[in-house]
Amino acid sequence: MRNIFHILLLLIFSVSIGCASVRTLRRDTSTTTAKATLDTARYDSLMARLANGDKTGKWPVKKSPYPLPGAILPFNRVVAYYGNMYSKNMGILGQYEPKVMLEKLKAEVKNWEDADPETPVKPALHYICVTAQADAGRNGLHNLRMPFSQIDKAIEMAKPIDALVFLDIQVGFSTVEEELPRLEKYLKMPNVHFGIDPEFSMKEGSVPGKRIGTFDAKDINFVSNYLNNLCKKYNLPPKIFVVHRFTRLMVTNYKDIKLNSNVQFVMDMDGWGGPELKKGTYKYFVAGEPVQFTGFKLFYKNDVKKVPNRMMTPKEVLSLKPAPIYIQYQ
């Protein structure tokens, strides 16, 4: 009987411990699975700050959806180095050995932090993974798709400074519908974002570089929908989607561009030249046709070719209305 009594005590003790463990596990699970929330008041405040005193009523953009938690913009500014590892002429990303390039990028990040101490800065590598070509090539599409080994290299290069990675495509005679799905294995990574360049989308059949190409809102909406579905499928934080622009016809029917909570849309002013020319391009083709966020490209070489032979400073760029939240160096 004594042995049976001891066994019963042990069973009762074990059950009580087990119940306590379950209760503890439930408490821990409820804590770890609590959903993150977006600070909408702070978001609205930052968007108003980016409008920078705009008097046109266009900024901040009305009826723009709140992003889901984990969004990068407008809580951070992105400063990116642009280019391709196979070419020293396509941008700073391919001009230097990785270690030197990353040190230069870190220095630019510091410049922007100093110019706007209230906005944290995230470094980024903006890699052209499909480049437009004058030659039709084997696929007949006037583009060259980078081998995955080169995309892998760009992603590895970003790791030492915890940089974001943007994959950018110049479709040539191809389409976003054809090129985007090829990159899904990379875009399902939380730190990988996306960009498209209308300049090299040759819908009318000209050889890339001979004329300036175009994308329509339909093309842009395809990308946004694809990225939105990707975020839902893989439970990802919102993606940043950059579209380059320096003429009106590069992006048609901008009012039909649809926004969603999983995609943060950036219209990036891509023109080069002196400060006044760049300000005018930004005013008419980016600020004047609002979508959601704005970007601004600075060219180390082309911006200094003509008088006054200098690039715009971070302070000058930040004085624009609205202030760009994405900065790219080529």
Confidence of residue 106 (pLDDT cuts 50, 70, 90): very high
Q: What is the 3-state secondary structure (H, E, C) of 260-317?
A: ECCEEEEEEECCCCCHHHHHHHHHHHHHCCCCCEEEEEECCCHHHCCCCCCCCCHHHH
Confidence of residue 132 (pLDDT cuts 50, 70, 90): very high
- Report the b/e string of 120-136 with b at 16+ CB within 10 A: ebbbbbbbbbbbbbeee
Average pLDDT over residues 5-34: 35
pLDDT of residue 25 exceeding 50, the answer is no
Structure tokens at 14: 């074990």
More confident position, 3 or 198: 198
Q: What percent of the chain has pLDDT over 70?
A: 89
Structure tokens at 294: 């704005």
pTM: 0.89
- pLDDT score at 89: 87
Which DSSP letter does residue 75 get?
T
pLDDT of residue 22 exceeding 70, the answer is no
Label residue 64 exposed, middle or buried (CB < 10 Å: 0-12, 13-18, 19+): middle
Q: What is the pLDDT of residues 144-202, one digit of tens each?
A: 999 999 999 999 999 999 999 999 999 999 999 999 999 999 999 999 999 999 999 99
- pLDDT score at 35: 63
Q: How many CA atoms lie within 13 A of 159 on its CB side?
A: 7
